[in-house]
Structures are given as structure tokens and as C-alpha cells.
Structure 1
């Protein structure tokens, strides 16, 4: 029913002047900003994300909506000049109906990116937020939908079976999914729509011998422990040059203890159990816990593991918790080689004072985003394009507008 309603509402919305669509999205962005406290409170109740951190995510989402409100109306094709009496035009048109399946770990910011890009380019959207934060998703949907015609934006509740049914609906033109690799693969196998998938990541952090170990430890802690490690681009494995191992680990352990003074709960007990399973298996296989490793219900402490090997699940899979697994390496070259030998391709970070090493790293690492000397950050409007098991298609940035549109080529000539 939701897809059919979206299909009926889309032609009129697609024919709405681009400037008017941008104005509607701008008003929606202002409404999200005005209700940031309310959204952050509901998010905290559902997922445990601290209020201030959640509010930052909501405001980031509002900023993304405002950005697309400006970019959408100037999104354009190009013209080609043929003979003196003819020209070709390449015109972007909305694809039609977009299904957006969004996760629980940063639900407002991620949803705003996908919904904003889809709506401003003239698509109708059916949004299914994660079943782990349904009230947050519904509230965001109510705030946004008030600024668009009926059925142009609909929010649907439900679990994986609902998402699968939406993705497989033949009336859907685009499926945009941010979530696990397993779910992404299932969607790819059952949908005929264009797919935009940002799935799991196993992001490495490479720490070179020539950096300040205390600073590098601060970057590692930020990347591994922020939002209790529940971010798509969290640091999941650390390759540490053995020349600075002692001061780096001392500093990282100290920072982990500071994080543990006020631990953030994980989203639910099921996820806490999954994180602990990774840690427990690693310890049984020979890893050593330097800090943390003992859960307290949903609260999982910032944990530092050493002695990790490439065959451990904490190393080969996305733990998605506040765990910093460390592997000592004798050289930068070995760190790069091992970091690249992974099925995922979301992002990677390299900390180095050597421009030559930085250049070698960004060329060698087969991921969509390489960050040099900063685990988080990036310019406003930046895009991301995951690879391999981490997904396909652009997410964020002006390039997402291209993904949400299709090109019509018009050859315009004169009658003979």
C-alpha cells in the first residue's frame, strides 16, 4: 500500500519546480532543528545514546537537509552541440519511488541524508527506520512529512521482513540501505531496483613509528570508543608499529579508563552479548585484555586488547562496540599489506608524519575513504563510495543527487 501510494504521489511532486522542492526541504530542515531536543530525548530512551551526542546527530541531519535544499535546485545535466541546427541535452529526472532502510546507530543524521537527496530531486520516499528505534523514526517522519504533499514521504514500521518486502516490491525504483552486510546481500538478491548500499565495515587504523604516541592513542580512542563504537566508520582494528608500542598502549589504556568513568550503554542486551562474544573468543585464542572486557548489562566498557591475530573474529568482523584490538607490526609496509587484506572496503585511517607513507597508503588501501591523521572529520558536502562487502553507490555529497536521478538524453533538431 505504501509503495502504491508513493507511486501515485510521485509524478506531481516530480513536476514541482526544483526551487519549490528546495524550499520545502529547507522548511523541513528548520523544523528538525527546532525539535532537536525532542528527537534526541526519544533517541536516548530507545538506544541509550547520550542526549548531547544524540542532539549533535540530529543537528547534523538538519544541516544535511539544508545542504540538499541548496544543492537540489542547481543539480543539472549538460548540453552537447551538434550541427548548427541541433543540440543534445542530458536532463536529470527523478527515478520514481525510493525505499530508504536506515539503521539505529545514528538514525536521524543518516536518514536525513538519504531522504533529503531523494526528496529534493523529485522522488517519493517510503522510509523504514530500524526496529530498534521506531519512535525516533516515526517522530522524524512526522516532522518532515508536514512539509511535503501527502504520501510523498511515508514512514513504515517493522522488522527485517518488512524491509525485505519493500525492497522486493516491483514498484520500487531505488533501494537505499545502511546497515549490515548480511542484510545488504539479502536485499541485492531479492530486488530489481537500483541499489545504494552502505554496509558493514572493518576499518583499520595504521599507526606509523614516527608519530607522537600520546596523540596517536587519542585518535585511536576517539575512533574506537565514540558512541560506544557504534558508528559505521569506527576503528575496528589497530596496526601499531612496534617501535612505539609501549607509550602508545600506556596512553590508550589511560584514555580507556577515562571513557569508563561514564560508559555509554549499547543499544540492547543482544548487541552487548555479541560484542562480548568477540572479546571472549579473542581472549580464549591468546589475546590479552589490558583494560575493560567485563560487561555490566548493556554497558560495555572501553576495552583494549593486545596480542590479536588475523584469524580472530574481533579482527576479521565488525565488532561494532567500544573495543580497540591491537596488533603489533614491525614495519609500515606490513601494516599496509595486512590492512588491505580484508573483504570490507568502507574506510581506513593512517597516522603518519611521512608524506611518502601517506601517499603510499591512500593509493594502496582498497577502501572508499582514506583518512590521513584524523579518524573523523572531512569537508562539508563530502561523499563516500564503499567498496566490496561494504556496499555500492555513493552516499552523501552532491554525488548522491546523481544516484537519486536518471538521465534522459534529448536530441533537439529542426524539421527538414
Structure 2
């Protein structure tokens, strides 16, 4: 009879809306993790020799399967993370679209010919790197994973995917759908917590470690990669500022701030995390933002553990002199709900301004002029994104040049053209995680010189 001591450990996932058990998934054992890397390593040789057009066709088939099962994936996402079904479905369809884009981009990813001697041929040829480990997050588990999986597979790499332990059912089902369109073991999914990710990161057969998640985990992965020689792609924490100039409509600015801070309950990598507002519009802006917060009906946070971290930031700010204009209290009852929260009179050294809160919290600091706001927005160890609301072209130009972040948005907290790819900076990570540039990250370049023998 199996004893408690010999049972395979499992991860329990609870619905953050009401606390009910969604299900359990097994923790991959060290032996299973090692075997998955070994199978990927063996399968990658033939996959690398597969014609790029055939790899693209496999990815298109995977995209079709994701579209076909969009409702199922959205339901899993909602149950595991609390993300509303319609928003989760949008994320699934965005993921399928990304797979389709890479199915087209992969076969036309090209090297260069070089101008050498007349009787020689010189080439720069992209080649797959080998085994890619993709460690993906819970807050948009299909869309983010599809970017990394699609770019890695279409360029001839084999992939071992570990989805977040907060959305393992969604990640595992996505893995099944994409893997079914590819040769055996070209894509494998392993489930587990950080110990599974750490074992993958320590395997010297892995060529690339791609991680989207917290800065602490990203730095642990980078340390492991320094020992194994793996390349790292890291999109980690952010503390994105919103700068509100004195010449904008405060109602419109508050609407933008609310969208940026409260969308997906503040659980977006590029959520607005801190706000600097010009004193000329501060009073009506704060009133409008607090009103929008009180009117907001939000989905729960991913779990109670995360809610505790978010609330701790709010309590720290209030204890140190911030004024609570809306929200800020843990509601009674089951689940991990937390209200849209607005804090005024925030100081630069409060945790809500220096750390990533990753929840529906809008901390506001009033500044005397645009220059002061820009200087404060440019502080901190993160460098993911920033937003500027201004009617001045001169201020807009100055802001995008001076803000030390990978993405700057002017007069819209979200948006941008398809295919845009930025490199995060500082504690937010490094490397391109999207767009055509991701194909370059997941390939390595070989220089070839062909010259006939003498005679």
C-alpha cells in the first residue's frame, strides 16, 4: 500500500473567486525533469534538420488547435487565476495569433551573404540553439507562452515548458495541443513549483533559459545560467510610472490611470504601478481616479498569498502617512478579492513606489512641474515600461528619450503596433521577448567561408 511518504507530491489549485478546489497536478520528479530534457535534446537533432516551411506548417496546425479549444483554455484560465472568461478568451486568441505570426516569420528568417573574394562564398547563417526551457507566468498563461514556444519551435529548437504552478492546468493543456502538432518530444511540458524550474535551470544540456516572472526568480535563473553557459531571456518585474502633465484633461487622465492600474486587477506586467501628477491638475485628477476606483468591479487576485503581499504594500503606505482615497481593505468572505485602491500623498521611499505591487493599487505623488515628475519617474531599479500623458510635443520627446525603460507610451497606457519588441532594462531583465527579434535571440549565427582549392 502506498504510504504518504512515497506518494508523488501534488500542487493544489484553488479558484480565487471562492476558494473551491479546481484540481491537482503532480510535481515532476527530478528523474522526470532530467528525462524530459534528455528526450528534447535527442529530438532536437532531427527537428533542426526539418525544412523551415515544414516547421511553420506544424506551428500553423498548433495555432488551429489552440483556436479550436479556446473556450476550454479560457475556462481553465478563469478557474485557476480568476481572470474573467472573456478576457481569458482574448488572451487565448492572442496566443493563437502569435503562433500564426511565427509560423510565417520562421521560414523567412534569414542570414546574410558577405562580400569577400571573387572566387569565394561567405555567409552568416542562423542555426537553432538546441534545447530551450520556457518558464512562463500565470497572469496571461496562453498568450505569453505562445510567444516563447512559437519562436523557439519554428527556429528548430526543442522546448521543455514549465508553466506557473498557479496556472498548471492551463499550461499543461496548451502544451498538449501544441505538442500534438509536432514530432514526439520536440515539445514537453513539466509541472511543478520553483524546485522544478531550478532543476531545469541547472541542466547543462539546456541552451536557452527563457523566463517571464519575478525579478528574484529571474536572477536565480541568471545565476544558474552563469554556471551552465546557457543564454538567458528574462522579462521580470516592473514598477512602471505614469506621468500626468499639467495641460491634460484630468478626467481623461484619471480614466487612463484607472485602466492602467486596475485592468486584470493590476496583474499585468506593464500595469501602472506609480503615478506622478502635476499640481495644476492634481485635485480633480485624484477625485476622478478615486471615483473610478469606487465604481470598479474587479476579478479576484490570483490567490490569497498574493493578496497578502498587495495589502502589505498598502498598509505600509498608510502607516507612513499616505491618504487612502478608495479601497485598501481586505473584504470578508471566501476568495482572494481586493478592491481598486487609490493612495495620495505617497513618498518616494514607500514600498508602493519602489517595489512591484502587481495588484489594483494606484499610488499617487503630486509634483511641482513636468521636470520634477520626469526625474522621479526615471528613478528606481526597474526598466520595463512607462506612460506619459501630455499635450506638449516637447515634453513627449524629452520623456521618451530620458526615461530608462524598454517601452514608452505617450497618451495611451496600452497599445502599440503589431510586432513591436523592446528590451527590458535593469531589474526588469534583458533580451527581446517578442516580435521578429525573438527569432534572433533563439538562434545562433555561424559564419561560413567557402573557397575552392588551388589549381
Q: Distance in 1 between matches of 2:424 and 2:184?
A: 34
Look up the match of 1:41. Answer: 75
Look up the match of 2:7. Answer: none
| TM-score for the superposition, normalised by structure 1 | 0.99
Q: Distance in 2 between matches of 1:88 and 1:317?
A: 49
Deviation track 1:46-76 (CA, whole Å, cap 9, x = no partner) reads: 1111100111111111111111001000000
Look up the match of 1:308. Answer: 346
Consecutive aligned runs of 4 or more in structure 1 exceeding 3 Å deviation: none
Given candidates 321, 327, 346, the residue that maps to 2:384 is: 346
Look up the match of 1:186. Answer: 220
Q: Distance in 2 between matches of 1:45 and 1:267?
A: 10
Look up the match of 1:268. Answer: 303
SS at match of 1:107: coil
Look up the match of 1:127. Answer: 161
Residue 254 of structure 2 is aligned to residue 217 of structure 1 = yes
Residue 230 of structure 2 is aligned to residue 207 of structure 1 = no
Q: Distance in 1 between matches of 2:249 and 2:113?
A: 52
What are the within-5 Å matches in structure 2 for residues 132-281 of structure 1? 132-191=166-225, 192-259=229-296, 262-281=297-316
Shift of 1:87: 2.3
Deviation track 1:356-399 (CA, whole Å, cap 9, x = no partner) reads: 00110011000111111111111111112101100011110000
Contact 2:233-2:432 within 8 A present in 1 as well: yes
Q: Distance in 1 between matches of 2:87 and 2:118?
A: 59
Count of aligned pairs between the two proteins: 414
Look up the match of 1:357. Answer: 395
Look up the match of 2:431. Answer: 393
| TM-score for the superposition, normalised by structure 2 | 0.90
Q: Distance in 2 between matches of 1:351 and 1:375?
A: 9
Deviation track 1:141-168 (CA, whole Å, cap 9, x = no partner) reads: 1111100000000000110010011011
Residue 132 of structure 2 is aligned to residue 98 of structure 1 = yes
Segments of structure 1 that go 5 or more residues without pairing to the other structure are none
Contact 2:264-2:298 within 8 A present in 1 as well: no
Q: Distance in 2 between matches of 1:412 and 1:283?
A: 69
Segments of structure 2 that go 5 or more residues without pairing to the other structure are 1-34
Given candidates 9, 12, 15, the residue that maps to 2:49 is: 15
Q: Distance in 2 between matches of 1:170 and 1:106?
A: 29
Give me the CA root mean square deviation: 0.7
SS at match of 1:308: coil
